[in-house]
Structure formats: C-alpha cells, structure tokens
Amino acid sequence: MVKKARLIYNPVSGHEQMPQKVADILNILEQAGYEASAFRTTPAPKSAQNEAARCTAEGFDLVVAAGGDGTVNKVVNGIAPAERRPKMAVIPGGTTNDFARALKIPRDDLVAAAKVILQGKTRKMDIGLAADTYFMNIAASGSLADLTYGVPSEVKSALGYTAYLIKGAEMLPQISSHQMRLTYDKGVYEGPVSMFLLGMTNSIGGFEQIMPDAQLSDGLFQLIVVKTDNSVDMLRLMVQALNGKHTKDPEIIYTKTTTLKAELLTDEPALPVNLDGENGGELPMTFKNLQQRIEFYVG
C-alpha cells in the first residue's frame, strides 16, 4: 500500500517563507516514499489540531508540522489521543523552536529540515498530558513562568544570556511566591513556590542548560521547583541556571518524576499554567508522562 503523508503548515511562520517552500517540501516527502499533500492552517481555533486528528483517523502514515512550537503543539494534540498514531516530523519556522532544537533538526533552512526525513532516523518521544491537554516540551506555573518565553527573539539573538538577566531584573518587582502542594514520585512538597517547571527536553527558551539531564524517551519529567521569591536569591539562581549550575542550590528542588499533582493551598486568584508557551488552563492540575507516545523523525 502507498504510504500517505500530510504537511500541516502555518503560512505566517518562518518569516512568511513557508508557503514558498511547500512544493519543495512535498517533493522531499515524495522522495521519501510518501504520497504527499498539504494543509494550510487558518486563524480558526484548533485549525492544525483538527486537521491532525482527521489525518490520524483516516490512517495517514506521517504528519509533518511546519511552524513554531505552537503549531507543533497543536498537531501533537490532534495525534496523541488516538490508539493508532502516525509518525511525526517537524519543520521549524518559529522564533524559538525548542522542540526542533531538541530533535537536532536544522532551524534556519526549511528545506534542510524536511530532508531530515530522507535520512529515515526516528525516535519514539515522550509526550506530557496536563489534565486533558498534551504538551511536548514544557509545563510551567508561577510568577516566573513567563521568563523563558518573555524575551523577544531578536533581543535574545543579540544579547544571549544577558537578555534573560535583563528580563529577569525587570520582573523582580513582580515576582511572588504561592503556597502550593506538589506531589511527585519521590515525595510531597508543601510551601512557597515562585515557579515550577516540568521539562520533556533539554531546550527551554532556546537554552539547553536549564534541564541538564533530560532524556527524550525515558518516561520521566524533569521537575524544577523554585521556592524563593527573594530578589538576591533570584538573581543568583538566574545566573546559575544559564550555566547549568542551579540544580544543587538549596532554594531549588530538582528531581525526575512520572507524574505531578500541583495544588494551591490558599484561596488566591487562579494561577495559570503555561504549556509549550501557551495558556494551558489553571491550577489545580495533574500532569502525566506518556512514555514514547509519538514517533518522530530526528536529526
């Protein structure tokens, strides 16, 4: 039987170059042995997710997500719930492209990224489930959670680590802790939390030192809990995190876990949860790691 592939692409990603490369990408998919077609996403809610779900239900063998981390997330959410799931490939066209970075896929050439498929190398990747929403890279909550996504890409390109320190310094007056109960494999923590991060890969906000021991297929989240909201402590932790030296700090909990249940212990206003850079609901929430849920082409 002929294998079928569907390219789901965001027309405004990649500096709006994606539509010009569709024919080249489809040609590469044909070279890889797929009967290929394309779907251009629209501004309608869940456009990419609904198309990915339709392709999954119709038995497609491969779905290619072309766009930023948000587009990849939507395609993952269309595929992950099914019992029989197609393979996935990623063509990065966003600003950060954390997931493509973790998969060792070229991030500055759309056609080169598509050619990864011709190499035929795949890996089954863990996928996270937060309540009823899936994520492939990060879940976070707390007053610091926006730091990794709050730095404009052009500033980050020019200033690197310094951009995060500047952004962190700007945020210091607004950082506060929340009384939480965090239940994970190795125990329960009750106390102040200014942020928790659940990482699936080693790339967060374009940096690879924040989750230094990430494994892509071991069924384990990396959990980082920042307890303090003290300005001096926060500046120290930011510097350490950008160099991968934060995990042993006394103000940090760093562990691995298959699940996390996060609850607020006070009647505070609802605290949002960030999933792959997008709003993913509010606490309380339970997170589960679905080991090797989707098979991806990797570099």
Does position 162 have pLDDT exceeding 80, yes or no? no
Does position 156 have pLDDT exceeding 60, yes or no? no
The CATH class given to the 135-291 domain equals mainly beta
> Of 35, 208, 278, 282, which one is the catalytic site residue?
278
DSSP the chain: --EEEEEEE-TTSTTTTHHHHHHHHHHHHHHTTEEEEEEE--SSTTHHHHHHHHHHHTT-SEEEEEESHHHHHHHHHHHTTSSS--EEEEEE-SSS-HHHHHTT--SS-HHHHHHHHHHT-EEEEEEEEETTEEESSEEEESTTTTGGG-S-HHHHHHHTHHHHHHHHHHHGGG---EEEEEEETTEEEEEEESEEEEESSS-BTTBSSSSTT--SSSS-EEEEEE----HHHHHHHHHHHTTT--TT-TTEEEEEESEEEEEESS-PSP-EEEETTEEEEESSEEEEEEEEEEEEE--
> Is 278 annotated as catalytic?
yes
Domain locations in the chain as residue ranges = 3-120, 135-291
**The domain 3-120 belongs to what CATH superfamily?**
Probable inorganic polyphosphate/atp-NAD kinase; domain 1 (3.40.50.10330)
Does position 238 have pLDDT exceeding 80, yes or no? no
> So what's the pLDDT on residue 48?
98
| pTM for the predicted model, two decimal places | 0.88
